């Protein structure tokens, strides 16, 4: 990885659509410089553009990696909260007070219904007006959920399936309104000293 930018590269990185004059002047001076051969000028301009492009590619890859890491950590956090809640519930604990944090409490288990639909006769439903450029399944599902008469009428052509999705309880960390950093540091040092002594 290159640690120092070319001056032209730095100019290119900071240019804005409405303020290109300085870059134009600098680039013109590079191209008009009679002390440098044409191939060095070409290399200088080309490498500046190439380095800028490489930075964009690197950032794109970093963003993808960070998004994947964020997703993985979010999943790990959810799993950790669920495991903590299950252990606490198993031991009959619904709330734990802390000295640095206010408490750990449990969220309630929630259940939400998911509706899915399986189209049995697409052509018949298209004839009845559930169309975008193809069958408008979203409009069809909304219409069926709001109209029981329509459900009976279209029963030979579409099947409605209802499922339930349960979200298990999760541990929730409640911070105190004014956390005392000195107290937190002392507790962490105490834990580290105990581990070192063991």
Q: What is the mean pLDDT of residues 67-76?
A: 96
Instruction: Tell me the pLDDT tens digit for each residue of 100-112.
Output: 889 999 999 899 9
At residue 32, does pLDDT exceed 60? yes
% of the chain exceeding 90 in pLDDT: 40
At residue 184, does pLDDT exceed 70? no
Q: Give the strand order in the sheet containing 101-106.
A: 95-97, 101-106, 171-175
| Cα–Cα dist 131/26, whole Å | 58
**Residue spans of beta strands (DSSP E) within 70-177:** 95-97, 101-106, 110-119, 158-167, 171-175
What's the whole-number average pLDDT of the chain? 85
- Split at pLDDT 50, 70, 90, the class of 22 is confident
Lowest mean pLDDT, pick from 8-22, 114-128, 138-152: 8-22
- Split at pLDDT 50, 70, 90, the class of 178 is low
At residue 181, does pLDDT exceed 60? no
Query: Is the entire prediction scored with pTM above 0.75?
Result: no
Instruction: Tell me the pLDDT tens digit for each residue of 144-172.
Output: 989 989 989 998 999 888 899 898 887 67
pLDDT of residue 68: 96
DSSP 8-state secondary structure symbol assigned to residue 17: T
Tell me the domain boundaries of the chain.
Answer: 1-93, 110-167
| Two tokens, residue 93 | 């604990």
């Amino acid at each position: 990885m290159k640690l120092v930018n070319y001056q032209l590269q730095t100019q290119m990185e900071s240019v804005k659509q409405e303020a290109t004059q300085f870059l134009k002047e600098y680039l013109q001076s590079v191209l008009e410089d009679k002390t440098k051969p044409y191939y060095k000028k070409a290399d200088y301009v080309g490498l500046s553009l190439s380095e800028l492009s490489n930075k964009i590619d690197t950032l794109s890859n970093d963003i993808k990696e960070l998004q994947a890491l964020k997703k993985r950590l979010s999943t790990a956090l959810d799993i950790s909260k669920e495991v903590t809640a299950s252990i606490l519930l198993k031991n009959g604990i619904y709330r734990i007070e802390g000295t640095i944090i206010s408490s750990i409490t449990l969220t309630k288990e929630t259940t939400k219904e998911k509706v899915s639909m399986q189209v049995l006769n697409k052509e018949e439903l298209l004839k009845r007006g559930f169309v975008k450029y193809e069958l408008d399944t979203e409009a069809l599902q909304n219409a069926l959920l709001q109209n029981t008469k329509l459900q009976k009428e279209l029963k030979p052509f579409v099947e409605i399936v209802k499922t339930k999705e349960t979200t298990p309880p999760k541990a929730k960390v409640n911070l105190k309104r004014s956390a005392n950093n000195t107290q937190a540091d002392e507790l962490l040092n105490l834990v580290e000293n105990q581990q070192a002594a063991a």
